[in-house]
Structure 1
Amino acid sequence: MAAGDCLPFLAMVLTQVGYAGMNIISKLAMDSGMNPFVLVAYRQIFATVALVPFSYFLERKTRPRMTLPILFQIFLSSIFGATVNQITYFIGLKNSTPTIACALSNLLPAVTFLLAVPFGLENVGIKSKAGQSKVLGTILCVGGAMLLSFYHGHSINIGESSIHWKYAENTGKVQSSNDTNFILGPILLIASSVSWAGWFIIQAKMSESYPAPYTTSALLCLMASIQCGIIGVCVEHDASAWSLSPGIRAVTCLYAGIVCSALAFCLISWCIQRKGPLYVSVFSPLLLVIVTILSWTLLQEKLYIGTVVGSVLIVLGLYAVLWGKNKEMMNPRNKIAVAEKEEKQEAKEDLELQLAVQ
């Protein structure tokens, strides 16, 4: 792997690790009685507070002039990338399990690929090995996710985790007696993936005309805070439901807002600018593997044959798409275009560094 590819790769892996932690503690917070609309609203508020200082100080001298078309694109990003995406995801998570939620989120590469083609952000190239690899990898990712979601098979006897989190065990017992809608959950999770893919496409277009990821992320979260706050108040009128007690609720909101919105949005926006929307989306299968391990370790969930086989298919699909994407980028014509883009980006970063020093 080239030196220029290491940072985007590490950024996306760290992003998936952060999302994995959010899935576990968010499920516990909602099992304790927290309304998902309240959780999403707090997440956006904390993300906005965390992002504003970074956007102001890091881009105050290099920030392009804001225009109405760009502002409208940020508004669309806030709807698809935050409000709709997160509300549907958390309600879906509440009505399912972290493993199912992560499995269905792996529809993202396929949906992103389908949306990116008509916008000219990706080429199918079915006659080339690179195009065939991307298509095959996408099919493997989706197939593995479906297998993991709808087929368990026999449990694998690997013993029990030596880690016993009493709070998680007690919360799980309370939640097991509550009703969950296992039809509504998957439907909303699929809708979340479609919305998330739409944000990738909008972000890719916007990053070309307005290369200021901190500013756009801060404005996105600010707009989403207003949207989610209004929706949350309309759905949940009881003031006590907005309390951040017990502590798991406060920890979840802070973690989701700072790590999984503020930090993740900046990292994802930067990676989209460098590598494109498909490169970012194909890292989502890693989240499933990480959450499966954490669910077994912390939540005492069992591992099934379907889980293991599905995870293997997803990882194989991930690397097939990455191989195809890399093969496509090594094409002489694409290589020149990418080199020119990276030179412009490096020149911009050097200018930003010089201005920051001054």
Structure 2
Amino acid sequence: MNEETQSVKVIGQCSPIIVMVITNIAMGSVNALVKKALDVGVNHMVIGAYRMAISAFILAPFAYILDRKTRPKLTLMLFIDHFFSGLLGASLMQFFFLLGLSYTSATVSCALVSMLPAVTFALALVFRIEKVKNLKTKGGKLKMLGTLICISGALFLTFYKGPQISNPHSHREALHHNNNDQDKTNNWLLGCLYLTIGTTLLSLWMLFQGTLSIKYPCKYSSTCLMSVFAAFQCALLSLYKGRNVKDWVIDDRFVIIVVVYAGVVGQAMSTVATIWGIKKLGAVFASTFTPIGLISATLFDFLILHTPLYLGSVIGSVVAVMGLYVFLWGKNNETETSTTLPPQMDNEEQNTNISNNSSNV
């Protein structure tokens, strides 16, 4: 009986990790496909609006059936919370992220999104979700070191594009693609800036979602509401690029497939899985799985879509991933230390704090 209980416990601990791995693999493929769709010339916020509308449509029946018994009453404050959730985690994030993606590549976009744990950790320190005193521990120092390495990798791939790595599968296509992209070389830095802003907004959403999931724990209903708000927000933001009604008529079969795939897999399923992962693992730890999305996007981009790679992107991505796993090592060390800490130590620390506070008064 003890063995069965232990195995159930292990499965319970591993299931959020497995879900986050699958989610990031899916997101990597979505970014690679959306990049191809953007190259056709589609308004990036039209893709965003359709993506969110499809997400809301897919999740509505799940929200109605699965959350019916546990769904709390929707108040005005919860509506406002979901409006900002859509703004941070979907519409504004997609506005900057897809704009940056159109100027760079799926590999670069996923590499900069791989900064998510570092950015989330930094913002958690600013908002005092993470304690500054924890930085003095071994785990805290490793997390800071990992953050610095991660940022160094991101800066490297931003400022150094490097020579193109030959694609043996489709050399002519790669050359043609490279010639078309010569005009976009000057926009590379701007694209990286947009991607960094999108990543920062996503980090803010993850921290915000950590509190929203406590107030409104129904993941299907929450994601559906967020998607509804975000669809209207994306539609308004699409006016930035153009007001032609024809922008909303997509007749390219590949783009239609990409939009549907991005809505179902990249938004509906991935957001529900991420919200669940944040609830189980916390915002900072859930964000450490983003390098898997980078690997997925690179392989999908290079092997299936035959998009050329650049040396700077590869080196910067490797450095960023190394930094992230140093960060993960620090997080794991911190967790092990907290679980092995004797209860007496906690009580002694509390007594010391109380005595210090009383002496200050």
TM-score per shorter chain, which class?
Answer: 0.7 to 0.9
Superposition deviation, residue 50 in structure 1: 1.0
Q: What is the match of residue 294 of structure 1?
A: 300
Change (3 A) 1:307 1:234: closer
Superposed counterparts of 1:17-166, under 5 Å: 17-124=25-132, 125-152=134-161, 160-162=167-169, 164=170
Whole-angstrom distance in 2 between the partners of 1:301 and 1:115: 34
Aligned length: 332
C-alpha displacement of 1:313: 2.5
Distance 2:161 2:139 in 1: 33
Q: Which of these residues, 245, 248, 272, is aligned with residue 266 of structure 1?
A: 272
Please tell me the residue identity of whatever aligns with 1:80: L
Q: Deviations over 1:213-233 (max 9, x none)?
A: 111110000001111123325
* Alpha-carbon distance between aligned partners in 1 of 2:238 and 2:61, rounded to the nearest angstrom: 26
Judge which range, 8-17 or 280-289, deviates more: 280-289
* 1:226 alignment partner in structure 2: 232
1:176 aligns with 2:185: no
Gaps of 5+ in 2: 1-8, 343-361
Tell me the SS of whatever aligns to 2:41.
Answer: coil
Aligned partner letter, 1:317 = G
Residue equivalent to 1:198: 204
Alignment of 1:319-330 (within 5 A): 319-330=325-336
Q: Distance in 1 between matches of 2:179 and 2:252?
A: 15
Q: Distance in 2 between matches of 1:262 and 1:315?
A: 27
Deviation at 1:333, TM superposition (A): 6.5
- Percent identity, aligned pairs only? 33
Q: Deviations over 1:200-258 (max 9, x none)?
A: 11100111222111111100000011111233256432222212211121012111111
Preserved contact between residue 123 and residue 131 of structure 1 (Cα < 8 Å): no
Aligned to 2:357: none
Output the CA distance in 2 between the equivalents of 1:74 and 1:29.
29
Structure whose alpha-carbon radius of gyration is higher = 2
Contact in 1 for aligned 2:210/2:282 (Cα 8 Å): yes
Could you report, residue by residue, the CA deviation over 1:9-61 in whole angstroms, capped at 9, with x for unpaired residues?
A: 11111111111111211111111111112111111111111111111111101
Work out whether residues 104 and 146 of structure 1, in 8 Å CA contact, stay in contact via their aligned partners in 2.
no
Q: Quick one: which amino acid aligns to residue 322 of structure 1?
A: L
- Map of 2:218 onto structure 1: 212
Q: Which runs of 5+ in 1 are unaligned?
A: 337-358
Q: 1:62 to 1:170 in 2, by over 3 A?
A: farther
Separation in structure 2 between the aligned mates of residue 130 and residue 33 of structure 1, nearest angstrom: 46
Distance in 1 between residues matched to 2:71 and 2:14, nearest whole Å: 26
**Larger displacement relative to structure 2 (82-91 or 95-104):** 95-104
**SS of 1:283 mapped into structure 2:** helix
Q: Secondary structure at the match of 1:126?
A: helix
1:237 to 232, 243, 255: 243
The CA RMSD measured in Å over matched residues stands at 2.8
CA distance in 2, matches of 1:188, 1:270: 27
**What letter matches 2:92 in structure 1?**
V
Give the number of the structure whose residues are more often helix, by fraction.
Answer: 2
One-letter amino acid matched to 1:23: N
Q: Deviations over 1:117-174 (max 9, x none)?
A: 2434323412111111211122222222222333355666xx7444x599x7698378
- The amino acid of 2:53's aligned partner reads I
Q: Match of 1:34, SS?
A: coil
Residue type at the aligned position of 2:191: G
